[in-house]
């Protein structure tokens, strides 16, 4: 999971999606620390992905 979030986090730096980048960074950090809040951060990451997907669909 950490590797996938890390790759997504890296990709967000090139795509101009600050909310998604912040959610990735928080998730990655908490996963690396084995923090119990990691699941909540992953839920926030899922929500950020959904918002981006909806915005992309509206502008298409």
Helical spans, DSSP H, in the chain? 2-15, 18-32, 38-59
Q: Does the predicted model carry a pTM greater than 0.85?
A: yes
* Sequential pLDDT tens for the chain (60 residues): 999 999 999 999 999 999 999 999 999 999 999 999 999 999 999 999 999 999 999 997
Measured in residues, the chain has a length of 60
> 26-42 burial string, b = 16+ CB within 10 Å, else e?
bbbebbeeeeeebeebb
Let me know if 15 is exposed, middle or buried by CB neighbors in 10 A (0-12, 13-18, 19+).
exposed
Domain ranges of the chain: 2-59
What pLDDT score does 60 carry? 77
pLDDT score recorded for residue 31: 98
């Amino acid at each position: 999971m950490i590797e996938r979030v890390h790759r997504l986090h890296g990709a967000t730096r090139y795509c101009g999606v600050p909310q998604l980048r912040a959610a990735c960074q928080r998730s990655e950090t908490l996963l690396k620390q084995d923090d119990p809040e990691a699941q909540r951060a992953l839920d926030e990451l899922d929500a950020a992905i959904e918002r981006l997907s909806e915005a992309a669909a509206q502008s298409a």
